[in-house]
């Protein structure tokens, strides 16, 4: 009986509430309702001194993955490890274990003595709608950062900057490098796994150090480039005979800096417009490579046609660009020299940063001086025939020969014979696993002596 009475009371209270709500909606115009709502919010704020910021996993109309979300997740990985009771683990490409917090876990973090809380939340998938945008119908996670309002300036400024910077640095250490190649005006990608490093590169040690220092200074140069008002980019020209290690050096560069490689095949690009489109899709932390630039295109054509052109540097380039830009037929038919110069200096300079552009050639003398002038190709590196120093490195890579009595003889012979590191490497490369080092060394000496004889006969 008592139970029935209770239900009757609840029922009449609910009906009363619904009546009040209906009256409220009917007699209070919308702006009045909004004003009441705002006052209510202010009251809540007054009693609740916490501020919350939400970082969604996907952003924008196209539901693209948010970079900030990814950086925060990586940053919080370390904190989660120590605090969260439920963790999710995965392996990064360098085989290190990456831990993250599970859904609806909360962890605390401290910055300059101030404590903040991070919660990983999740919106359920929207099963009622069908969308073509990626991620729209999937679970969407978000991080909510909560802190006391008196620390607003510290947390929104320095703390969040710190979190995003740390997360990004960790991400770049753990990410997989990619090799991109262009086909039908699109970039195709594969994981980049070239084993070359500067350690295994056969090169004069001083020259090697200079190049490595230059690359490291570039990768840490964001502030420097911003201060002098220049785009954060650098051009390298690698030249020398075939088989002297130009491609190998590019791989070593990518491995040193952990940059992606965009191998641009210019002959596959139909116009300057296509070239620009490809450029716009290149991310930062990348090396754009144009191999055998002298063979890629007739890059000198528009320049020779330009009547005003007799310049090798600075001011001349603009004239080259203008005259070649006027030539509409060239513009639409093929990539021109002006298109390539724009690729390096034009839009290139204004979007993104931290990009190297590398040209390789076997015939540096054939290249238009405007294309390779300093400032455009900042560093010119010659890769030459194998010196004794370079040989030592190759021998160390393949075999342990440094104590062999024939070593000085090889040095003497290499000084007189034009042998590329590729040739030397081929001789040193074990043909079968059972072959012993001494045999190959003798083989190499014989080859060098023969080459020397041939040279004598030839001259
Ligand atoms: N300096 C070097 N250090 C180590 N290995 C080298 C070096 N130069 C050449 N090699 C070896 O020779 C092979 C060919 O070298 P690589 O393709 O880098 O030469 P390249 O100068 O790019 O040649 P090409 O001009 O024909 O493209 C490499 O696979 C590598 O094993």
Specify the CATH number for the domain of residue 184.
3.40.50.300
Tell me which of 382, 402, 433 is where a domain ends: 382
**Does one domain contain both 338 and 422?**
no
pTM above the 0.90 mark?
Answer: no
**Does one domain contain both 190 and 227?**
yes
Instruction: Give the chain's domain count.
Output: 3
424-449 average pLDDT score:
73
**Does one domain contain both 278 and 364?**
yes
**Does one domain contain both 351 and 208?**
yes
**Does one domain contain both 428 and 309?**
no
How far is CA 270 from its chain centroid? 26
228-234 average pLDDT score:
87
Express each pLDDT in 353-410 by its tens digit. 789 999 999 999 888 888 888 778 899 999 999 888 888 888 888 776 666 777 778 8
The residue with tokens 């709608």 is 129
CA–centroid distance, 308 to ligand 1, in Å, is 40
Evaluate: CB of 362 within 6 angstroms of ligand 1: yes
Does residue 23 sit within a domain? no
**Does one domain contain both 234 and 357?**
yes
Express each pLDDT in 308-350 by its tens digit. 333 333 333 443 444 444 444 444 457 888 778 877 776 555 5
**Does one domain contain both 239 and 335?**
yes
Tell me which of 174, 204, 238 is where a domain ends: 174
**Does one domain contain both 83 and 230?**
no
Evaluate: CB of 384 within 6 angstroms of ligand 1: no
Does residue 278 sit within a domain? yes
* Residue ranges making up the domain that contains 449: 388-458
**Does one domain contain both 192 and 323?**
yes
209 pLDDT above the threshold of 90: yes
Q: What is the ipTM of this complex?
A: 0.97
pLDDT of residue 306: 36
Tell me which of 354, 382, 410 is where a domain ends: 382
Q: Whose CA is nearest to atom 24 of ligand 1?
A: 242
* Contact by Cβ (8 Å): 371, 337: yes
Q: Whose CA is nearest to atom 17 of ligand 1?
A: 247
CA–centroid distance, 235 to ligand 1, in Å, is 20
Evaluate: CB of 208 within 6 angstroms of ligand 1: no
**Does one domain contain both 160 and 222?**
no
390 Cα nearest atom in ligand 1: 1
């Amino acid at each position: 009986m008592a139970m029935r009475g209770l239900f009757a009371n609840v029922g009449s209270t609910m009906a009363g509430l619904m009546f009040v709500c209906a009256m409220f909606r009917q007699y209070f115009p919308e702006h009045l309702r909004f004003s009441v709502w705002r006052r209510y919010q202010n009251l809540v704020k007054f009693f609740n001194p916490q501020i919350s910021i939400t970082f969604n996993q996907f952003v924008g109309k196209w539901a693209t993955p948010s970079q900030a979300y990814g950086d925060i997740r990586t940053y919080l990985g370390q904190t989660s490890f120590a605090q969260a009771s439920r963790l999710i683990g995965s392996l990064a490409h360098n085989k290190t274990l990456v831990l993250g917090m599970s859904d609806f876990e909360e962890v605390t973090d401290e910055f300059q003595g101030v404590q903040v809380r991070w919660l990983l939340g999740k919106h359920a998938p929207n099963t009622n709608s069908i969308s073509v945008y990626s991620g729209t119908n999937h679970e969407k996670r978000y991080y909510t950062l909560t802190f006391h309002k008196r620390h607003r300036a510290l947390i929104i400024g320095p703390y969040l900057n710190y979190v995003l910077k740390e997360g990004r640095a960790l991400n770049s250490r753990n990410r997989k490098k990619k090799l991109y190649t262009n086909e039908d005006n699109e970039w195709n990608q594969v994981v980049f796994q070239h084993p070359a490093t500067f350690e295994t590169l056969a090169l004069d040690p001083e020259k090697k150090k200079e190049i490595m220092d230059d690359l490291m200074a570039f990768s840490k140069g964001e502030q420097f480039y911003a201060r002098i008002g220049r785009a954060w980019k650098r051009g390298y020209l690698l030249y020398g005979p075939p088989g002297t290690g130009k491609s190998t050096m590019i791989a070593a560069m990518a491995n040193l800096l952990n940059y992606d490689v965009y191998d641009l095949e210019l002959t596959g690009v139909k116009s300057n417009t296509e070239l620009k489109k490809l450029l716009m899709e290149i991310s930062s932390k990348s090396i754009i490579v144009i191999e055998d630039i002298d063979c890629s295109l007739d890059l000198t054509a528009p320049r020779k046609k330009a009547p005003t052109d007799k310049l090798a540097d600075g001011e001349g380039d603009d004239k080259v660009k203008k005259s070649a830009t006027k030539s509409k037929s060239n513009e639409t038919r093929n990539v021109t020299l002006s298109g390539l110069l724009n690729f390096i200096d034009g839009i290139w300079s204004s979007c993104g940063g931290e990009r190297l552009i590398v040209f390789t050639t076997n015939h540096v003398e054939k290249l238009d001086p405007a294309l390779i002038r300093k400032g455009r190709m900042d560093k010119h590196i010659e890769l030459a025939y194998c010196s004794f120093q370079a040989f030592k490195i190759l021998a160390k890579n393949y075999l342990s020969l440094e104590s062999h009595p024939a070593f000085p003889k090889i040095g003497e012979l290499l000084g007189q014979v034009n042998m590329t590191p590729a040739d030397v490497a081929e001789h040193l490369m074990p043909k079968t696993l059972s072959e012993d080092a001494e045999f190959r060394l003798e083989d190499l000496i014989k080859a060098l002596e023969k080459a020397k004889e041939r040279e004598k006969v030839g001259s």
